[in-house]
Structure formats: structure tokens, C-alpha cells
Structure 1
Amino acid sequence: MKRIFSMLMIVLCVITLVSCGGKNNYGKVNAKDGKEEYTSNGEENPVAGRSITEFKVKDINGNEVTEEIFKDKKITMINIWATFCGPCIEEIPYLQEIYAEKKDDGFNLVGIVSDGDSEENIEMANKILDKSKVEYTNILMGDSSLKDIVSQFGYVPVSIFVNSEGKIKGVFSAGAETKEEYLVKINNLLKEESKDEK
């Protein structure tokens, strides 16, 4: 019986790692127009350069959210996660820390609950977010244009970054990162957007 249980646990762990996506390494690939572009495990961001415009969705508390959420911030990090994903849940506490530390610097953080298509999963998402005392907005994509963006990635967590106009930057995170790794990206993007404003 113990042997069967052990085998089941190993299989479950492997499935979870494959489903969620793993740790990643980032490297500078090239410079276009003086701006650095990054890849994740050799991947380029499949949605870089696209714009997220005109959507109307609900957050997990039933409040309406539109593309206006990007408007007053230089950079918004969109963290795509799922309730079944261990690495997604593990990074939520320090994502909240990042949000609290950087929100007054022109930064915003928005979560997309990729499996928020049932009441059961929405309830689970709320429990996960409440446990970490999350203050940043978490939305359900429904049938909005966000669904097309999320569908370009076959794993979670994924984090993409958009400017105040909703344009998706080349820098992205395919898999969970450390707080420090996220802060390097965020600080560089905030500097880049500040230069573009001048």
C-alpha cells in the first residue's frame, strides 16, 4: 500500500511540474532600437508588441475591470496563474510584497486566474489570495480578448508586462521567479518607460 501511495505521489509531482512550468533562465538576446529583448529558456515572448485594448471583465469579487486599469501606471505586470499550480501559489506572497513596495513608483500588478471558469475554482482562488492578504486585482478573463493572450502560453505561471497604453513588452517571465529577479525586470521597465516619457 505504501509503495502504491509513493508511486502516486511521484506521478502527481511530475504532472504538477509539467503542467505548471518550471524554473527558467533568462538571457539577453539582442538589442533593438537600444532596448534589450529577453528570452525565457530560448523562447521569445509570443505576444510581445501586441496591445491589450478594450476588454471588460470581472475581478474575483464581481467588480468590473476594463483596459483603464493600465492607464495611470507606467508598467503593469500581468501574472497568469491557476489554482492547481504549486509554483503559482508559492510566489503570490512575494508578488504582494512587490506590489506594496512598487505601487507608488508607477507600477501595478494584475493577476489573471486562468482556471477561474467555475464557482469552485473562484472560491479556491479567493482562499489562496486571502491567505496571502493580496491587495492587487485578480481578474477572470471570461470570453474577453484576454483569453487570446493567455492561450498563447501552454503553462502557468507566466508574467507579461504592459505599458500605460496596454502594449505588451518583450520582457516576460515563463515560470515562477524570485522576488529579486522580478524586481530587476520591473525596475528596468520603469526606467525605460520614464525615458520614453521625456
Structure 2
Amino acid sequence: MKKYILIPLAAAMILSITACTGNSKENSTETKEIIASSEETAEGTGENGSSSDDSDTAAGLTGEFKSFTAEDLDGNTVTQDILTGYDLTIMNVWGTFCSPCIREMPYLGELSTEYADKGVQIIGVVIDARNRDGSFSPSILAEADDIIGKTGADYLHLLPSDDLMDIHLNTVTSIPYTIFIDKNGSIIDTVIGSMEKDQWIEAIDAVLEEVK
């Protein structure tokens, strides 16, 4: 199966340190764990993104989403049960300061509707809403809600709970970062970096064919 590695991790980390520092939110994110990809890196790899048939993603396919609890942006409790009704769940980890993340959100909004009857759901995780102490920033939540409205990415968005961090998100070193999860909570594949809509369709169709 193909692993869609769109941003070489070493390059992403080198360039993203400046982007992360320049867009810091006064300790509003766990910066030791989350480093945003710079817009220049995402643009450069988005056009010439390549895939590898044999290598794992840089972050590694670790953890399983078989049991977790989190909240959505409205404070509603969400558990692993949201996975069971879909063949494939696409969990897109994004940040309010991340231009590549925001640029692809309109595509994901459209794909959420277009694939709804194909056993696919898209879920966002607002990674920079989490403070260092594990609490969540009201100002960033408000900003995230505004971005979601403007981009049409009106699918479910979650807060990065302790459970989600412990399962896999604490391995994420650049965003946008997307995890493909089957109905049993197993991680099938991951994507590092933003993509154009046609690239997303190719990636989704490839993974969907495998899980069905």
C-alpha cells in the first residue's frame, strides 16, 4: 500500500521552527510536540508531492483509536463510537496559525459531503487549542470556529484530549497531518502536509479500496 509522504520530516522541522515561533500563541500550544509546517514547505511539496510504496510515514503508524474520549468545539462528548458507522475516518490535525492547513480545508469540506454516502467521514482536530497545562484556549477556539465557518469545513472538529494525544497525536511533528482510520480504530495510513483536492481524492480512494 502506498504511504503518502508529502513533506520530508527533516526539512519540515527545520523550516517549521521559524513558522511556529513566528506564529506562537503565548503558550497556547504544546510546542515541544507540535511543530507547524511552513507555508513555503507545503507549497513546494504540494505541487511535486511523491509517494513511496514501502516506507512508513516519518511519524510512524503508532497507536490505535479503539478507545478514547474527547470533546467537540461545542463541548459535546465524543468517543470511539463515532468510528464504527464508517468504513474510513479521515482525522485531519490542523492549527489556526497554519496557512497550509487552512488552504486545504475548503477541499476537505467539499469532500466530506461528496464522500458521505461512500462510508467516509472527515474529522478535524484543532491542535493549537491545547495549552501546555492541558486546558484549552477560549480565544483560539473562537478563532477556529471562525476559520471553520469561512472555509466551509463544517464537519466535526475535536479538541486534542489527553486520550487523543496519548494514542497518536503526541508523535505529530508537523501540520497539517492526516490520519486514515478504519471502523475498528486501526490506523491505516497517514499524510504529512497539505494537498490539492485531486490529490486528496486519489489518496482517499486508495485507502478506501483497501479497507472495504
Same structural fold, with TM-score higher than 0.5 when normalized by the shorter chain: yes
Which category of TM-score, normalised to the shorter sequence, fits these structures? 0.7 to 0.9
Identity %: 26
* Shift, 1:143, TM fit: 1.9
Q: TM-score, normalised by structure 1?
A: 0.78
Q: Does 1:27 align with 2:51?
A: yes
User: Residue 80 of structure 1 contacts residue 157 of structure 1 at CA under 8 Å; is this kept in 2?
Assistant: yes
* Shift, 1:47, TM fit: 2.3
Residue 47 of structure 1 corresponds to 61
Distance in 2 (CA, whole Å) between partners of 1:165 and 1:60 is 24
Distance in 2 (CA, whole Å) between partners of 1:95 and 1:86 is 15
* Shift, 1:135, TM fit: 2.4
Q: Does 1:58 align with 2:71?
A: yes
**Greater radius of gyration (CA):** 1
User: Residue 69 of structure 2 contacts residue 161 of structure 2 at CA under 8 Å; is this kept in 1?
Assistant: no
Aligned length: 171
Q: TM-score, normalised by structure 2?
A: 0.73
Question: Which residue among 65, 76, 88 is the counterpart of 1:75?
Answer: 88
Q: Does 1:161 align with 2:175?
A: no
Q: Which moved more, 1:145-154 or 1:66-75?
A: 145-154
Unaligned runs of 5+ in 1: 1-12, 31-37
Unaligned runs of 5+ in 2: 1-15, 21-34, 131-136
* Shift, 1:172, TM fit: 1.8
User: Residue 102 of structure 2 contacts residue 151 of structure 2 at CA under 8 Å; is this kept in 1?
Assistant: no
Distance in 2 (CA, whole Å) between partners of 1:84 and 1:175 is 14
Encode CA deviations 1:131-177: one digit per residue, 9 max, x unaligned: 123221000022224444111011110011000001001x3211111
Q: Does 1:121 align with 2:140?
A: yes
Question: Which residue among 128, 133, 151 is the counterpart of 1:132?
Answer: 151
* Shift, 1:51, TM fit: 1.2
User: Residue 72 of structure 2 contacts residue 158 of structure 2 at CA under 8 Å; is this kept in 1?
Assistant: yes
